[in-house]
Amino acid sequence: MVKLITPMGMLVTVALLAVYATYAFWTAYTDQSWLYALLGVLSSVACVGTALLRPWSQYLVYALTALFIVGWCYSVYAGAVVGYFSFFFESTAAAAKALAPGMALVILSCSASWNCYGHFRASRQVATS
């Protein structure tokens, strides 16, 4: 049996980065967006770097998580400003239910970053001792 070099918590981060990359490349293709193509490349590089436990990859993970959260929050804000939620949903509870998958991804992104931080902090402490 093959032993994995990547801890299970880091594999969650790698999986999330793979989902980011796939979404970014698909959006880049459908919208013909260079910005999403760049995000797809960055997510792919971070995915491989994290899977191989490269210390530099943690900074890409933090940056991508921050960009995702800011982008999601901005889209919710922009939707609220133009009245999207009041037009398409009869109640605040229905709008919140529609936003639940995005909030779950925000929480998952934060936990993946926390896993990444914890792993690299622990490995840094072992290296300095």
Per-residue model confidence (pLDDT) at position 3 = 75
Name the residue ranges covered by the structural domains of the chain: 9-128
How big is the chain by its Cα radius of gyration, in Å? 17
Per-residue model confidence (pLDDT) at position 79 = 94
26-64 pLDDT tens trace: 999 999 999 999 999 999 999 999 999 999 999 999 999
pTM score: 0.85
Per-residue model confidence (pLDDT) at position 129 = 64
CA pair distance 127, 104, nearest whole angstrom: 34
Per-residue model confidence (pLDDT) at position 116 = 93
> Quick check: 1 pLDDT over 90?
no
| 3-class SS letters over the chain | CCCCCCCHHHHHHHHHHHHHHHHHHHHHHHHCCHHHHHHHHHHHHHHHHHHCCCCCHHHHHHHHHHHHHHHHHHHHHHHHHCCHHHHHCCCHHHHHHHHHHHHHHHHHHHHHHHHHHHHHHHHHHHHHC
89-119 pLDDT tens trace: 999 999 999 999 999 999 999 999 999 999 9
Per-residue model confidence (pLDDT) at position 9 = 84
- What does the DSSP 8-state code read for residue 89? -
3-23 pLDDT tens trace: 777 788 899 999 999 999 999
